[in-house]
Homo-oligomer: A and B are copies of this chain.
């Protein structure tokens, strides 16, 4: 369909309603407003809203009675208010929304017509312009889920996502990065890999996302010890000074379409290989990386459940990397149980700090995984000969050089601080004696989320029952941490209603 649009109707004055609809833009108009009538608008209409030189597409809520808005006023939700960047009383022009040409390619995809490079670029462009409603985003995500994106489509989507945001350039031939394909609670290796690699002299300007469907993303965890919402120039200064950073990707506008998709993916809890690969590699390439190490945990209750699925994703990551000119190396790892002891932003940060400081009871699994990833990066990046990366990585950690580098990075990002501690804590205990034979990562993550993670930074789970350990009757299996009593009791109710979050085999 064409992008022809009406001149629209003006003369309305903008009013800030103070209503927070998260990222969805909503406008409020009186039911007796002449503009509603002449433009033929009604509740839930999609509307173009223009003020000065800015333009948004918003959803209309119609207001009955005169208590909320005066005659000739148009109310804006917080997101719409920010996007239009005007002030009280500024004139606003509204018009029917022109039909979105790119969405017809989404419909076609559902009926089996593959995306073309052009159609994907159009979709991503419109998403970044705020042109897709939430139900349109949900439709796109569903159409891409269940492995329905092929290699060519995934390459096209990755390219489109890179092109829709900022791109960084670094004055170095080797720019390293790492990524973990999510789903394994507590697997916070980034906070160890970055300082070790940087301490070894390689550049590692890391951007991370917040949680999609998990109780904590790397950015959420890092935020408990230092600011992560760095602007591009701040990030550049941190990397120039320290050789590495751990910043939130959304704040530097690398692949901004990804963040908009995540907002709808999160409540739906849907994953797609194609969206996953595009999300990961678009961020890496936009960040200017040349060599990327990717950890793929595999386990029955991890995000990737089988070695077959892991190999398929590994292959797709390498193929798309090849096509777009970066080196990608993958590592399959154990995904049968949480890594470390904490699940949730602050609790995971505590594990990281214990490893960095070589504390006696620091989680060995988190340490070993991180060292294996660093080894790969040091070898890929030419800092160690093949087979010698692990020794260099271990020495750098054990010497304290990595901890000093971590604190230095935190300071450069705005200041190191200790993670917060939850006000409400309660253990869940074993009902009988037995040996731990299985852990359900998904349900454990579910409990941590109900306790408030990742939004409540101190919330989550402290995990006491790794596979193989012998647990006495009444001994704590895990402790729930929460910032409010409502969240604590909700998480505990749910935990107690579940069977086999942690499976204990009775022993003689």
Kindly state the separation between the CA atoms of A46 and B270 in the bound complex, as whole angstroms: 17
Inter-chain pairs besides A111-B146, A112-B146, 9 sampled, C-beta below 8 Å: A17-B68, A18-B65, A19-B62, A19-B63, A19-B64, A21-B61, A135-B135, A135-B138, A138-B139
Kindly state whether residue A267 has any CB partner on chain B within 8 Å.
yes
A135 touching B486, Cβ below 8 Å: no
Cβ distance A317 to chain B, nearest Cβ, rounded Å: 20
Give the interface centre of A2, A21, A134, A139 by most chain B CB atoms within 10 Å: A139
From A109, which residue of chain B is reached at the shortest CB distance?
A: B146
> What residues on B are CB-neighbors of A22 within 8 Å?
43-44
Stretch touching chain B among A119-127, A252-260, A340-348, A488-496:
A488-496
Cβ distance A484 to chain B, nearest Cβ, rounded Å: 5
Stretch touching chain B among A31-39, A226-234, A291-299, A395-403:
A31-39
Cβ distance A486 to chain B, nearest Cβ, rounded Å: 4
Kindly state whether residue A498 has any CB partner on chain B within 8 Å.
yes
A interface bracket (residues with beta carbon within 8 Å of B): 35 or more
Kindly state whether residue A96 has any CB partner on chain B within 8 Å.
yes
B142 touching A110, Cβ below 8 Å: yes
Kindly state whether residue A42 has any CB partner on chain B within 8 Å.
yes
> What residues on B are CB-neighbors of A479 within 8 Å?
none
Candidates B38, B61, B269; contact of A485 at CB < 8 Å: B38
Answer whether A6 and B493 are a contact pair too, CB < 8 Å, given A136-B268, A145-B110, A146-B112. yes
Interface residues in A19-66 (C-beta closer than 8 Å to B): 19-22, 24, 28, 31, 37-40, 42-44, 46, 61-65
> What residues on B are CB-neighbors of A17 within 8 Å?
68
27 A/B residue pairs, CB under 8 Å, sorted by A: A2-B494, A4-B494, A6-B486, A9-B486, A18-B65, A19-B63, A19-B64, A19-B68, A20-B61, A20-B64, A22-B44, A38-B484, A38-B485, A39-B484, A39-B487, A40-B456, A40-B484, A42-B455, A95-B490, A107-B268, A110-B145, A111-B145, A135-B137, A135-B268, A136-B267, A136-B268, A139-B142
Kindly state the separation between the CA atoms of A134 and B141 in the bound complex, as whole angstroms: 14
Answer whether A78 and B64 are a contact pair too, CB < 8 Å, given A20-B31, A142-B142. yes
Q: Which 8 A-B pairs have the closest CB atoms?
A: A142-B142, A135-B138, A138-B138, A39-B486, A40-B487, A18-B64, A20-B43, A20-B62
Kindly state whether residue A67 has any CB partner on chain B within 8 Å.
yes
Kindly state whether residue A483 has any CB partner on chain B within 8 Å.
yes
Kindly state the separation between the CA atoms of A415 and B1 in the bound complex, as whole angstroms: 41
> What residues on B are CB-neighbors of A142 within 8 Å?
110, 138-139, 142-143
Cβ distance A78 to chain B, nearest Cβ, rounded Å: 7
> What residues on B are CB-neighbors of A466 within 8 Å?
none
Kindly state the separation between the CA atoms of A9 and B487 in the bound complex, as whole angstroms: 12
Kindly state the separation between the CA atoms of A22 and B133 in the bound complex, as whole angstroms: 15
Interface residues in A158-199 (C-beta closer than 8 Å to B): none
> What residues on B are CB-neighbors of A138 within 8 Å?
134-136, 138-139, 142
B2 touching A38, Cβ below 8 Å: no
Cβ distance A191 to chain B, nearest Cβ, rounded Å: 25
B64 touching A139, Cβ below 8 Å: no
Give the interface centre of A20, A21, A38, A64 by most chain B CB atoms within 10 Å: A20
Kindly state whether residue A274 has any CB partner on chain B within 8 Å.
no
Interface residues in A287-317 (C-beta closer than 8 Å to B): none
Kindly state the separation between the CA atoms of A486 and B269 in the bound complex, as whole angstroms: 41
> What residues on B are CB-neighbors of A40 within 8 Å?
452, 455-456, 482-484, 486-487
Kindly state whether residue A374 has any CB partner on chain B within 8 Å.
no
A270 touching B43, Cβ below 8 Å: no
Kindly state the separation between the CA atoms of A31 and B455 in the bound complex, as whole angstroms: 15
Cβ distance A212 to chain B, nearest Cβ, rounded Å: 14
> What residues on B are CB-neighbors of A63 within 8 Å?
18-20
From A67, which residue of chain B is reached at the shortest CB distance?
A: B18
